[in-house]
Amino acid sequence: MYSITILGSTGSIGESTLDVIAQHSDQYSIFALTGCRQLEKLAQQSIQYNAKYAVVTDESSAKRLTSLIMDLKGTTEVMFGSDALSEVASSNQVDIVMAAIVGAAGLLPTLSAVKAGKKVLLANKESLVMAGSIFMGAVKQHSATLLPIDSEHNAIFQCLPDNYNDGDQPSVKKLILSASGGPFRTWDMQKISKATPEQACAHPNWSMGNKISVDSASMMNKGLECIEAKWLFDTTMDKIEVLIHPQSIVHSLVQYVDGSVLAQLGNPDMRTPIAHGLAWPQRLASGVADLDLSEIAQLTFEQPDLVKFPCLQLAYNAAAEGGNAPAVLNAANEIAVDAFLDGRIGFTAIAQAVEKTLDSFDFYEPESLDAVQDSDNRARSVAVSVIKRIES
Ligand code: NDP
Ligand code: MG
């Protein structure tokens, strides 16, 4: 029996994880669940999965959650704050941690799980974008097992040679990340500039949280994923390519030096990479429907359009810059996406705000987590003032 903490259980990845776990309750039990705003859902999950602990961000949410759990006659103990998040991610009663908090808020608890040497299922790509070097250093130092849940990275992980990390890296020529192109792939720039949050969140293939949905529409998500891939697979940006594949069936590909290209295919359902991560190196049924290629009939591929989707180019630039540039990119993007979702700025202003924020920084190599967090904080305040200027 494996004991699991799900950081961000109330979100899209969190719910898919619980769905897979429910299918295998003889093998997996819940130690802790965490959420932020959706307290009713967290209370209900805590009861249904008999969680030992439920963690929220602040005291007033904790009081409300405690009373919701008492009303449901549950026994889950409620905690709050960032120390509590780190505690349930690193407890010696936990075997597996699913890191599925969205954004920079996921960094510290995920890193706590890594430092405790856990098996960490990484959905929170922002932690690697912000602090890739420190994060991967900690994985090595504490012998954590890091398994990628982002579908592209999980696909690449499945297609790499077994001894990739022990000498077989030169046999790999390229990592090819597929991208659906998002809901605006076929729109012209004029139409994209008028896109509403609802349209941006209506992803054609995947059902996801709002932030990553907007990132997919702007293709910032693919940019973040290139940086994520660089760190996860210890490679350089010139070996990473993006390929638009609107059907989201081929989840990514690995090109070998001998001309072989290995790909992982499946229906677009996050329960596949989640089940893969949970059971690795074994396999586990996930509840995902069998792939019917004759029904799908056609798989198509095209190059990304960097003019229509400037966020992808901005991410490439930040990756090339290195140091704290990706952390600045990520923080500015989080602020800009929030402003877009709030209706304060238009869709194209997301890229403008990120670009202006990046332009105002002198980059350096952040040697410590404090330095990363300082870059993140400063980028947020610059982005807020850039957006105020765009609003007025
Ligand atoms: P959601 O928005 O659906 O869920 C986010 C989770 O994080 C929720 O549980 C939310 O709580 C919690 N949360 C939000 N803000 C905070 C905070 N400040 N402190 C603590 N917890 C917080 O996101 P997704 O599930 O879609 O994505 C989660 C992560 O996985 C992201 O990093 C995303 O990039 C990555 N990912 C997601 C994929 C997907 O298919 N959804 C695919 C690949 C990667 P609450 O809802 O209670 O407020
Ligand atoms: Mg992805």
For 13-69, what is each residue's pLDDT tens digit? Answer: 999 999 999 999 999 999 999 999 999 999 999 999 999 999 999 999 999 999 999
79 and 38 share one domain: yes
Residues 103, 124, single domain; the answer is yes
C-alpha 164 to ligand 1 mean position (Å)? 30
Between the CA of 162 and the centroid of ligand 1 the distance, in Å, is 31
pLDDT score for 124? 98
Q: What percent of the chain has pLDDT over 90?
A: 97
Please state the φ and ψ torsions of residue 97, each to the nearest 5 degrees: -120, 125
Domain's final residue, options 149, 177, 211: 149
Q: Which tens digits make up the pLDDT trace of 70-88? A: 999 999 999 999 999 999 9
pLDDT surpassing 80 at residue 392: no
Nearest ligand to the CA of 225 is 2
pLDDT in tens, 234-251: 999 999 999 999 999 999
Q: What is the CATH number of the domain that holds 137?
A: 3.40.50.720
What ligand 1 atom has the least distance to the C-alpha of 270? 40
Model pLDDT, residue 305? 98
Q: Are residues 181 and 299 in the same domain?
A: yes
Residue with CA at minimum distance from ligand 1 atom 2: 209
pLDDT digits (tens, 9 = 90+) for 127-185: 999 999 999 999 999 999 999 999 999 999 999 999 999 888 999 999 999 999 999 99
My answer on whether 40 and 186 are in the same domain is no
Domain of residue 188, CATH code: 1.10.1740.10
Distance 274 CA to ligand 1 centre (A): 14
Going 192 to 196 to 197 to 198, the CA torsion angle's sign is negative
DSSP string, 270-327: THHHHHHHHHTTS-----PPPP-HHHH-----B---TTT-HHHHHHHHHHHH-TTHHH
**Residues 311, 176 share a domain:** yes
